[in-house]
Chain A
Amino acid sequence: MSSSVLWYTTRGAGAVTLILLSCVVVLGILSTLRVQSASWPRFLTTGLHRNLALMTLVFLALHIVTAVVDPFTNLGWAAALIPFSSSYRAFWLGLGVISFELLAAIVVTSLVRGVLGHRAWRAIHWLTYAAWPVGVLHGLGTGTDTWSAWMLAITAACVAGVGMAIFFRLSSGSADPLAAARTMFRSAVDRREAR
């Protein structure tokens, strides 16, 4: 396979991964915010979230594999799995490895959520808020066409989208209608310090 085909595939798959991951994060936030309308049921949000997450992993795998097998890049499999071990832009590539491994943990735990239990699953799922920005930084630092117009535009759109979603999440407070009352009652019957 011609090296330049691999190279373009790596860069393209990377861009698609960024777009898909950003959509997944936004959908996850919409799910927490219980967004819903007559034509957009909640199971659509969760269904898309799950399917797009799996697609993200597919494109991420493509991105990694084409990068490693490309003779031009001189990356071994170790560089793809051990953060900061590559010779080429060790730091920025390492961020990509971290992002990939976080995403792998998140997806695997989601697949075995029934066995793992809700609390453990939720704790690991919070790592999403680390995996996404780390992935964005990796893209900005490693990509050779980072400063090309289309890559800048894609990155800007993704950051804007996720940023807005996070803003809405922070300004909404808990979507659970019982949260406040439950906390109040619990603190009224909590005697853990007194025991």
Chain B
Amino acid sequence: MSKQFALSVDRIKCDGRGLCAELLPELIRLDDWGYPILAPGPVPEHLIPLAQRAVEDCPVLAIALRRTQLKK
């Protein structure tokens, strides 16, 4: 078992500020109205620091990095 992290967005809090997509374009893109579409699956290890920054920088604390347990 290895510990992995996944991004999740609180869709009610999110109001389309777009900082997350600026910081993590590899995993997050914005739809036509400025709201984030998250790539599914765990966050690659080398992107975790950026993901943490996206979590901290979100002005409304709508994005979170959660631990998911996956069997390897």
- Residues from chain A with a CB closer than 8 A to the CB of B13 are 118
* Residues B22 and A43 in contact, CB atoms below 8 Å apart: yes
- Residues from chain B with a CB closer than 8 A to the CB of A42 are 17-19, 22
Q: Is A85 an interface residue (CB 8 A)?
A: no
Question: Interface extent on B, as a size class?
Answer: 10 to 19
- Residues from chain B with a CB closer than 8 A to the CB of A34 are 17
Q: With A41-B22, A42-B22 known to touch, is A47 a contact of B57 (CB < 8 Å)?
A: yes
Cα–Cα distance between A113 and B55 once the two chains are bound (Å): 11
Query: How many chain-A residues does the 8 Å CB contact rule pick out?
Result: 15
Q: Is A9 an interface residue (CB 8 A)?
A: no
* Residues B57 and A43 in contact, CB atoms below 8 Å apart: yes
* B contact face: mostly helix, strand, loop, or mixed: loop
- For residue B61, which residue of chain A has the nearest CB? A118
The residues in A between 99 and 146 inclusive whose CB is less than 8 angstroms from any CB of B are: 113-114, 117-118
Cα–Cα distance between A43 and B59 once the two chains are bound (Å): 10
Q: Is B23 an interface residue (CB 8 A)?
A: yes
Cα–Cα distance between A193 and B22 once the two chains are bound (Å): 43
| Shortest CB distance A110–B (Å) | 10
Cα–Cα distance between A182 and B41 once the two chains are bound (Å): 31
Q: Is A173 an interface residue (CB 8 A)?
A: no
| Shortest CB distance A126–B (Å) | 14
- Residues from chain A with a CB closer than 8 A to the CB of B59 are 31, 46
Cα–Cα distance between A118 and B23 once the two chains are bound (Å): 21
Q: With A46-B59, A47-B57, A113-B61 known to touch, is A176 a contact of B15 (CB < 8 Å)?
A: yes
17 further interface pairs, Cβ-Cβ under 8 Å (given A36-B18, A177-B16)? A31-B59, A34-B17, A41-B22, A42-B18, A42-B19, A42-B22, A43-B23, A43-B53, A43-B57, A46-B19, A47-B57, A113-B61, A114-B61, A117-B61, A118-B60, A176-B15, A178-B15
